Amino acid sequence: MPLRLTIEMKCRIIEIKARCPDIDRVRQLLIANDAVLKGTDHQIDTYFRVIDGRLKCREGNIESGLIFYNRKDQLGPKLSDVEMFRSSNLAELKQILIRSIGVKVIVDKKREIYFIKNVKIHLDDVRGLGTFVEIEAIDETGLIQTKELERQCWQTIRLLNIENMERLECSYSDMLLKKENA
């Protein structure tokens, strides 16, 4: 079968991620606030060695594809420019990337995916790291200002009562690499 890539999504995201010792409490708040559950996904993210940004192959039942993004590591809201590609044969593409540029790290997680309008909330259980909540205010249209995306993130943090949780400045992949090198 020929390998086909199609751009699935190109967007800007403002993201905040925090450790979450009480996922059940956050889940109940999501349900109480009419968040839409998209489902629970087991995702394997294979990060590749790249010069700039981050490139990963996400294999999951709900979300899968090749994802490239640039993002600064910081404690507060982080802006990412994201491009996601779907492939007719993701496994073949992944093997080509492994052979050509190599694997940096693999992140294995169970993820519950919720939406409140354009804000996506993940409840993540990451193998080797623990449980987290991730909030992504997403602009797929190019019409939402960065300040508005930031406001949506902070509003969701207050809604879920997670202001005092330990916010993270880096990605799960960075955390796993630090743990491996410790």
CB 124 within 8 A of CB 165: no
Domain at 131, CATH number: 2.40.320.10
Residue in 8, 101, 98, 99 with CA at minimum distance from that of residue 44: 98
Query: E-assigned strands of the chain?
Result: 5-19, 36-48, 54-59, 65-71, 78-87, 103-116, 119-126, 130-139
Higher confidence at residue 111 or residue 91? 111
3 state DSSP class of 59:
strand
Q: What angle do CA 14, 77, 15 make, to 5 degrees?
A: 40
Return the bridge partners of 9, or none: 84
Distance of alpha carbon 7 from its chain centroid, rounded?
A: 18
Note the helical H segments in 71-125: 90-101
Containing structural domain, residue 167: 5-181
pTM: 0.91
Estimate to the nearest angstrom the gap between the alpha carbon of 108 and the chain centroid. Answer: 12
SS3 category, 55: strand
User: Domain total for the chain?
Assistant: 1
Per-residue model confidence as pLDDT tens digits over 36-60:
999 999 999 999 999 999 999 999 9
Using CA atoms, how far apart are residues 120 and 98, in angstroms rounded to an integer? 30
pLDDT above 90 as % of the chain: 74
pLDDT tens-digit readout, 44-103: 999 999 999 999 999 999 999 999 998 887 777 889 989 998 877 889 999 999 999 999
What is the bridge-based pairing of β-strands 119-126 and 54-59? Answer: unpaired
pLDDT band at 121 (very low <50, low <70, confident <90, very high): very high
